[in-house]
């Protein structure tokens, strides 16, 4: 459960810590605003992907399904700074598919937590394997990390790409190639 009072106290301390005056005009409502915003940014803490992924449809086809360019916004757990970008998800149905909006919702739920990009990529892939029982899943996340670009560790605009492969995608490099070809379309 998100404890907004704790967040408020922490933000006030943070402001003091950087040498600010939490009571001054521009800052006096900031702890409260941040607490409410965190309720939204971290709403994934209290959401479960088994809800959207329960809404499956039966299909005969076992042609690859690809949903690309799903936007996401997450928070890096090492620096509490945003990282954001796009998710591309492919899977090979074995009797079950899920609505495209449910894939986006799955990404959103995992993004609305403290994350590291690699783990989030794997979580999305594992959730699809579990709930759709497909022949295989491949997930690619590309993201810009503010903890890197704002500090000048890397150039602004540089992206981190992470990949998770499961099932047939793991066993068959040709399928991975097919996925990347489809991404370039
Ligand atoms: Zn970071």
- 85: CATH: 3.30.1130.10
Model pLDDT, residue 151: 84
Ligand 1 centre from 71 Cα, in Å? 19
Ligand 1 centre from 80 Cα, in Å? 7
Phi, psi of 63 (to 5 degrees): -80, 145
CATH of the domain at 17: 1.10.286.10
Residues 6+ apart with CB under 8 A from 155: 149
Structural domain for 27, as ranges = 4-41
Check whether 158 has a pLDDT greater than 90: no
For the chain, the average pLDDT equals 94
Q: How far apart are CA 166 and CA 126, in angstroms?
A: 8
Model pLDDT, residue 154: 67
Domain identity same for 62 and 12: no
Condensed to tens digits (0 to 9), the pLDDT of residues 159-184 reads: 999 999 999 999 999 999 999 999 88
Q: What is the rounded average pLDDT of the residues 59-82?
A: 95
Give the DSSP H/E element, type plus range, for residue 74: strand 65-76
Domain identity same for 34 and 94: no
Ligand 1 centre from 117 Cα, in Å? 10
Domain identity same for 153 and 99: yes
Give the DSSP H/E element, type plus range, for residue 139: strand 136-145
Model pLDDT, residue 157: 78
Domain identity same for 114 and 157: yes
> What residues act catalytically?
76-79, 117, 145, 147
150 pLDDT band, cuts 50/70/90, is confident
- Cβ atoms 123, 110 nearer than 8 A: yes
Q: What is the rounded average pLDDT of the residues 105-115?
A: 98
Helices (H) and strands (E) in the chain, counts: 7, 7
- Please check whether residue 48 lies inside any domain of the structure: no
Check whether 152 has a pLDDT greater than 80: no
Domain identity same for 95 and 153: yes
Ligand 1 centre from 157 Cα, in Å? 15
Measure Cα distances from 41 to 74, 102, 103 in Å. Answer: 8, 19, 19
Percent of the chain with pLDDT over 90: 87
Percent of the chain with pLDDT over 70: 98
Model pLDDT, residue 139: 98
Q: What is the rounded average pLDDT of the residues 61-71?
A: 93
Check whether 123 has a pLDDT greater than 80: yes
Check whether 121 has a pLDDT greater than 80: yes
Ligand 1 centre from 85 Cα, in Å? 14
Check whether 185 has a pLDDT greater than 80: no
Domain identity same for 92 and 165: yes
- Please check whether residue 150 lies inside any domain of the structure: yes
- Please check whether residue 49 lies inside any domain of the structure: no
- Domain count of the chain? 2
């Amino acid at each position: 459960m998100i404890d907004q009072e704790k967040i408020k106290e922490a933000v006030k301390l943070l402001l003091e810590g950087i040498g600010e005056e939490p009571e001054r005009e521009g800052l006096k409502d900031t702890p409260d605003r941040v607490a409410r915003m965190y309720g939204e940014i971290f709403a994934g803490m209290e959401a479960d992907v088994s809800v959207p992924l329960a809404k499956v449809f039966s299909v005969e086809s076992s042609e690859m399904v690809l949903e690309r360019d799903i936007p996401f916004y997450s928070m890096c757990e090492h620096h509490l700074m945003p990282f954001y970008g796009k998710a591309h998800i492919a899977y090979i149905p074995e009797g079950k598919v899920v609505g495209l909006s449910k894939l986006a919702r799955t990404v959103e739920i995992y993004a609305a937590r403290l994350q590291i990009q690699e783990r989030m990529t794997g979580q999305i892939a594992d959730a699809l394997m579990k709930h759709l029982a497909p022949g295989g899943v491949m997930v690619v996340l590309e993201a810009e990390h503010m903890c890197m670009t704002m500090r000048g560790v890397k150039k602004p605009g540089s992206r981190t790409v992470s990949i998770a492969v499961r099932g047939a995608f793991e066993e068959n490099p040709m399928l991975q190639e097919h996925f990347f070809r489809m991404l370039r379309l």
